[in-house]
Structure 1
Amino acid sequence: MLVLADGEGILIDAIGDKQTIFDGMDIHLGIGGKWTEDVVGTNGIGTALWTGEPVFVHAAEHFCAGIKSWTCAGAPIRDPFDGKIIGVVDLSGHPDIFRPHNIALVTAAAREIERALADSQNEERMRLLEAFISSTRNYRSSDGLMIVDRHGRAVYSNNVPLKDKKRFGDTVRQDGRNCRLPELSSSGFLDSVATSLPRDMQSCNVCPLELDGDVRGVALVFPKIESRAVSVGNVTAPQRLQTDRSLIIGESEALLSAIDVACRVGETEDVTSLLIEGETGVGKELFARLIHARSQKSASNPFIALNCGAITKELFGSELFGHTAGAFTGASREGKAGVFELANGGVLSLDEIGEMPIDIQPFLLRVLEERVVHRLGDSRPRPVDVRLVASTNRDLKREVDAGRFRRDLFYRISTVSIHVPPLRERGADSVLLIEHFNRKIAAKKNGFPLHFSNEALDALLAYHWPGNVRELRNLVERLHILLNRGFVDLGDLPPEIVMRHPASAHEGSTSDGAPGSASPVLSFEDAERQAIQNALIAEHGNLSRVALRLGVSRPTLYRKLEKFGIRRGFI
């Protein structure tokens, strides 16, 4: 029989004589069996994996007594991309098949598999390059470019500075072989790519590359920048923690403070459960994904999200803990794993946990305390290692006082609480978000970004945003769909936004308070310049306090000072 095993020594396919395959089942030489040396000792599969060389193991040379009546020859299969062993092809049977050339046979089979893999990888590489050329606009030959496939492999690189390559561990070429980025999951592919980048490289543009309707890779474009330090006069902007631009957009102090807490929680393994609080639409799940990405232990493991508000009371237990076959009417015939098992080793995000029925909450508390789950209808405990990130738009303390949420569960999940600020408390972040969604939606439609008038931006900045970031994103998408021209004016915005336009506050009043004449309305840029100058005067030129007063980061303030030609010495 000829068998194929993966890099973990687990058999994934077998062909050959039916009687031999049947006999192999007696020694677990069948699909699903594990044949590493630490499990069964010396054997053709496990020893080939261990040594990285073709091996022949005959009869009594096997370690285990039960397999001494077999002969096997195994050869490792290497990934043509980086030379990593990814499997073994093995010829096994009773001792009468012993022939010296058996090892040459499996070696030839392994080389043929490697050639087929190399052809497939080269074809995929060419198709990704063609997808980049056909779909990406505004790429300059001076920009750095790295194309990554869905397995995290850097299949192409150009103009990426050596110092940036080394941050990946000499990724693109190392000892004459290709290497790969940190392992990426197939779920949330773009998020995984972006959060796998070193912090000081996360300002690059991440462009999805689609093949046959699926995202099969990304292009990382590193715009050429003459100097990474931004200077204003004699002041040099210090490097500060850069947030992942593909996940969370914003530079306000309130947001950066929440991000800082999330990053620190993600980087420690001591906190196994935490609570994210915030209004609907602020992006609580993005913070859960950020925590998952920052975790050294779980970043490459599952991220499972479950919305508690979208599950009926009857199905809560099954969704959380799973069930056995026939555990209840309508149960799956094969049984089903719950989200705790699916998230084992990674992060489980329970959104809107305040919607969880109170009679289910004791069982959740027990799982968090004991780290084991019991499927419905099954008494067997199943250990789980899961970091729980709960999120809610409710005031859980008030829910506890009202008896709708268990006090002991609240204190268990709120060891660390992160408050995600609403958009109205994030200052000029709305402008950054408008620009982000504007470009993202334009790229998706193969079009051009919209241009907003100063009046339109004034109105958007003054709006309360009850739906937060989700409402803003939907508005930008609607403008892309409805407008036939590439310009957005005040009249193109919804009435509820226009009503809060700053000009309306001055209608019917004069500068001295008398009705009948309107005070002058500054343009968006003039108002921004005046606000910065006023803050500089009020804070006596202290840029840290100016940035805090304006609700922006120091790097953003430096860029604005340079843009408007403002020096601290003007005061």
Structure 2
Amino acid sequence: MTEHSYALGELLVSKLGVGRSTKETEQLKKEISALLSLTSEAVLVVDAEGQILELNQPMCTLMQQSRLQLLGASLLPHIGEQGWKQLKRGRDFDTVVLTPAALPGKKENVWKVRSKSIYETDKLTTMMLHITEGPAPSKKKLQQKRTIYTFDDIKGNSPSVRAVKEQARRIASGETTIMIRGESGTGKEVFAQAIHCGSQRHTGPFVAINCAAIPESLLESELFGYEGGAFTGAKGEGKAGRFELAHGGTIFLDEIGDMSLHLQAKLLRVVQERKVERVGGTQSLDVDVRIIAATHRNLEKMVAEEKFREDLYYRLNVIPLNIPPLRERKDDVPILVEYFMKKLSLDLGRTPKRLSQQVLERLLAYRWPGNIRELENVVEHFVQLEIGDLVTLQSIPLQLREQSMGHAEAERRAPRRHSSESEEKESLLQLLDQYGRDTEGKRQVAETLGVSLPTLYRKLKKWRLK
């Protein structure tokens, strides 16, 4: 897009963040759509949560879905949570390279994304993304990819963290399968990478896959690969799966509790025999991998309910490693805040800030349902918004700012009875804004309301909320 087009697009997009009637908003969207249709380059507009507000036909072609399918959907399944964080941290018009989720019959590529962020009263409202597709690194380079984290990157001095770090160090040098248990956001992949770095396989690849983030129809070919012609759109030469790519190293199966029973049966053979069979293939391929699995789910309950295979459970749960939630290690909060503040300030080219006593008290009193991931987001929030050197209450998120010391969490987590339907809708909107609109965020909303996830989805459908 030309600079003039960007300026015009920014002007139109910025108006979406202003309170307007439905009719005015729809007219603005039509104007944005008309502008985007003038360029042959892939462009889309998303809100602060990553929900797609508008896009042009080249973007639909790139994502292999229709405009109707994509409007209102989340961008996160296509670029991942880390990719979304990279975009939000990037500066305007800087190029961010992301690896999108694999699509059937399409070569592995990367997205080179230039973004323009729109703010309203210092709050991100929308982003305009200009995307160029390019070739992905070769398989050889992918296999040579090294991990990011070591045991030195696991911050904290609380007894619970020291104990689990020591246990992880002891088991790192072996070949035994490990099951990492912990709530979402506790840093399970950080521990997995640290274990790989401390193992005899540290010179080999570390390959991670989130079993909950990839649709079941794609997960099988992602894990085990496929032969040429295995299905419509399959590459002629076939494709290696994650187990093959992890040969000689470690494979990390995140959110293993979300895998279907059908795939659990196929995974069991790989765990037992260290052999994979590609989709559409007849030949078994030997794979030399160490398996580290992780979940936030209660697998024992799932086994009892026959939602998780008992034989696979015992094969994976050889050495369990339990990561404590942040609310059980409050002494580590100041250490983690300082770590993230220095890291984010360095990324943004800013001087690290100091916390006021009031802010520190709020951070220590909060129960952190999103754990370390939520804490990192909070630190990023005030690093971005605080103008001065001292972080004050006005620069921290609303849910921390308004909590009553001591009793806020009990009130927040207690199921509410709504005196009217409008109050129920307003409560849902507030909780979605607080926890996010991705699957994990909705799980936390359901837990807060004391309802099941299917019940929450029925309520969201009733109020036409996404």
- Taking the aligned partners of 1:397 and 1:503, their CA distance within structure 2 comes to 33
Contact 1:463 1:501 in 2 (8 A): no
| One-letter amino acid matched to 2:373 | R
Q: 1:361 aligns with which of 257, 260, 264?
A: 264
- Taking the aligned partners of 1:186 and 1:405, their CA distance within structure 2 comes to 33
1:263 offset after TM fit, Å? 1.2
- Taking the aligned partners of 1:316 and 1:475, their CA distance within structure 2 comes to 32
Aligned equivalent of 2:185: 281
Q: 1:293 aligns with which of 197, 213, 218?
A: 197
Correspondence 1:502-521 to 2 at 5 A: 502=405
1:312 offset after TM fit, Å? 1.2
Aligned equivalent of 2:70: none
- Taking the aligned partners of 1:353 and 1:503, their CA distance within structure 2 comes to 36
Fraction of identical pairs, as percent: 43
Q: 1:308 aligns with which of 175, 200, 211?
A: 211
- Taking the aligned partners of 1:503 and 1:381, their CA distance within structure 2 comes to 58
1:186 offset after TM fit, Å? 5.8
2:361 counterpart of 1:420: no
1:390 partner SS: strand
Instruction: Deviation per CA, 1:308-342: give whole Å up to 9, x if none.
Output: 01111112221111111011122222200011100
Structure number with larger C-alpha Rg: 1
2:154 counterpart of 1:248: yes
Aligned equivalent of 2:235: 332
2:337 partner SS: helix
Unaligned runs of 5+ in 1: 1-184, 196-242, 506-571
Give the alignment's TM-score, normalised by structure 2.
0.55
Structure 1 pair 347–406 and aligned structure 2 pair: CA distance change class (3 A): same
Instruction: Deviation per CA, 1:419-470: give whole Å up to 9, x if none.
Output: 1000010131011000000111111111101110111101101110011000
Correspondence 1:537-556 to 2 at 5 A: none
- Taking the aligned partners of 2:190 and 2:166, their CA distance within structure 1 comes to 14
1:275 offset after TM fit, Å? 0.6
Structure 1 pair 363–484 and aligned structure 2 pair: CA distance change class (3 A): same
Contact 1:322 1:337 in 2 (8 A): yes
2:170 counterpart of 1:264: yes
Aligned equivalent of 2:379: 476
Instruction: Deviation per CA, 1:501-546: give whole Å up to 9, x if none.
Output: 64889xxxxxxxxxxxxxxxxxxxxxxxxxxxxxxxxxxxxxxxxx
Instruction: Deviation per CA, 1:46-102: give whole Å up to 9, x if none.
Output: xxxxxxxxxxxxxxxxxxxxxxxxxxxxxxxxxxxxxxxxxxxxxxxxxxxxxxxxx
2:145 counterpart of 1:187: yes
Instruction: Deviation per CA, 1:206-255: give whole Å up to 9, x if none.
Output: xxxxxxxxxxxxxxxxxxxxxxxxxxxxxxxxxxxxx41xx211111111
Aligned equivalent of 1:373: 276
2:186 partner SS: coil
- Taking the aligned partners of 2:144 and 2:318, their CA distance within structure 1 comes to 31
Contact 2:144 2:205 in 1 (8 A): no
1:265 partner SS: helix
Aligned equivalent of 1:73: none
Contact 1:459 1:501 in 2 (8 A): no
Structure 1 pair 313–292 and aligned structure 2 pair: CA distance change class (3 A): same
Structure 1 pair 449–416 and aligned structure 2 pair: CA distance change class (3 A): same
1:494 offset after TM fit, Å? 2.5
- Taking the aligned partners of 1:442 and 1:458, their CA distance within structure 2 comes to 22
**More contact order relative to length (CA 8 Å, sep ≥ 6):** 2
1:411 offset after TM fit, Å? 0.7
- Taking the aligned partners of 1:463 and 1:496, their CA distance within structure 2 comes to 9
- Taking the aligned partners of 1:187 and 1:457, their CA distance within structure 2 comes to 38
Structure 1 pair 433–188 and aligned structure 2 pair: CA distance change class (3 A): farther
Instruction: Please provide the CA RMSD for this pair.
Output: 1.9
Unaligned runs of 5+ in 2: 1-142, 409-466
Aligned residues: 267
